[in-house]
Amino acid sequence: FSVELGRWRLIGINAQLCGSGLPEEVVQERWLAAELGRDPRPVVLFLHKPLFLDSPDDDSITTDAINPEPRSRLMNLVRSGHVRMVVSGHLHGHRDREIDGRRYLWLPSTAFLGAGVGSSIPMVAAMSLDLSDQSPIAEFIPLPNLYPHKLSEIKQNGRYPFLRDT
């Protein structure tokens, strides 16, 4: 998706296509390149998986982030576009870092605690993103009735393969 919101543009992509080899992956990359070149507004890019865990140059193959080859193509688009912030979830933890002038924000889950991948903080929470200013303001929204389930306990260490495999 691509939405104009005041001085910002919000763009969302399907992270599951990245590295899939499906024809839709090429279509999405072309669309993203066109969207990033269309307007000089600052962009917030949304995707489910983080682009990387610690550094854009990470070379590990992982299920926790976009893998190196598709990440390289995406990072070229991010660097050449007006992307100022990349927002992702997937790891069920919070992290807020700036690298090379871009902010990378990992959002917590409202369902399950993460395992604390990288320097993330495992938590169950919701977050508000205020784009009314030059710099986005991310704030936690109190949700006192949430219970931080541990996904590893529900999976029972792989007892339910359909959960592990998904």
What gap in Å lies between CA 49 and CA 91, rounded to an integer?
8
Whole-model pTM: value is 0.88
* Low-confidence winner among 80-84, 115-119, 135-139, 153-157 (lowest mean pLDDT): 153-157
For residue 26, give both structure tokens: 């090429």
What gap in Å lies between CA 121 and CA 93, rounded to an integer?
5
Mean per-residue pLDDT for 42-71? 94
Mean per-residue pLDDT for 100-111? 91
Instruction: Count how many Cα atoms sit within 13 Å of the Cα of residue 114 in the half-sphere of its side chain.
Output: 22
- Check residues 39 and 102 and name the one with the higher pLDDT: 102
pLDDT, tens digit, 9 for 90 and up, residues 140-166 = 887 777 777 776 676 666 555 655 555
- Output the pLDDT for position 122: 81
- Give yes or no for residue 118 having a pLDDT over 90: no
- Give yes or no for residue 52 having a pLDDT over 70: yes
- Output the pLDDT for position 161: 61
Q: Is 128 exposed, middle or buried (0-12, 13-18, 19+ CB in 10 A)?
A: exposed
Residue 11 CA from chain centroid, whole number: 12
Task: Report whether 137 contacts 123 (CB < 8 A).
Answer: no
